């Protein structure tokens, strides 16, 4: 009985969807979904690029924002502290896990100054050039870099999607 009702419902649905007005609306909705997805992707790429260039232009913004967030949101700070304490308790309770975690932590602590100096050395040319610019020049540079990168990535992806569509 269920399959019989399901089959009749499918026939009714197909008849409704075949009417010209409904078919036209359905095509428009599919086109709108594609346009909305594309616009969202382009906007997200643009925002990510702006954030990356801003972080390169203002290298001390991440620690100060993080400190400000912890100072402003004590509940999150308490959550992070409790998570650290819980992970230490678990590591102490399970000795092999604790030993492995301690070894990894010691290696990371020992390597962190070298890692930081390597990153600062590699990025110093870029950040030094960006830090010396005035705010208007930074804005123009960030906006142009984000716009050009987004446009180029969109064009490359659209060409990739076209060739992929033809291969099927």
CA–CA gap between residue 26 and residue 29 (Å, rounded): 5
Please tell me whether the overall predicted TM-score, pTM, comes out greater than 0.75 for this model.
no
Residue 82 maps to a domain:
yes
Q: pLDDT per residue over 156-167, tens digit each? A: 877 776 776 555
Residue 101 maps to a domain:
yes
Residues 132-155: b if buried by 16+ CB within 10 A, e if exposed: eeeeeebeeebeeebeebbeeeee
Domain count, the chain: 1
Residue 77 maps to a domain:
yes
Res 82: pLDDT: 92
Residue 143 maps to a domain:
no
Residue 100 maps to a domain:
yes
Look up tokens 């992707």; give the residue. Answer: 41
Residue 120 maps to a domain:
yes
Residue 98's domain comprises: 70-128
Q: Long-range contacts: 44-47, Cβ < 8 Å, 24+?
A: 45/149, 45/150, 45/153, 45/154, 46/146, 46/147, 46/150
Residue 158 maps to a domain:
no
Residue 150 maps to a domain:
no
Query: Comparing C-alpha atoms, which of 38, 40, 62, 53 is closest to residue 146?
Result: 53
CA–CA gap between residue 55 and residue 5 (Å, rounded): 60
Q: pLDDT per residue over 126-162, tens digit each? A: 667 777 778 788 788 878 887 888 788 878 877 776 7
Res 51: pLDDT: 82
DSSP structural state of residue 133:
S
């Amino acid at each position: 009985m269920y399959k019989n009702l399901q089959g009749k419902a499918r026939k009714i649905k197909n008849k409704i969807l075949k009417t010209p007005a409904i078919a036209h609306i359905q095509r428009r909705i599919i086109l709108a979904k594609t346009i909305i997805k594309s616009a969202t992707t382009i906007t997200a790429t643009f925002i990510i690029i702006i954030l990356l260039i801003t972080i390169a232009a203002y290298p001390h913004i991440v620690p100060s924002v993080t400190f400000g967030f912890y100072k402003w949101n004590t509940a999150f700070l308490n959550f992070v502290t409790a998570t650290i304490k819980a992970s230490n308790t678990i590591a102490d309770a399970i000795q092999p896990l604790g030993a492995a975690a301690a070894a990894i932590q010691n290696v990371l602590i020992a390597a962190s100054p070298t890692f930081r100096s390597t990153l600062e050395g590699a990025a110093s040319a870029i950040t030094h050039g960006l830090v010396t610019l005035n705010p208007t020049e930074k804005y123009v540079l960030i906006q142009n870099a984000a716009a050009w990168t987004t446009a180029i990535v969109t064009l490359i992806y659209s060409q990739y999607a076209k060739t992929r569509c033809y291969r099927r």
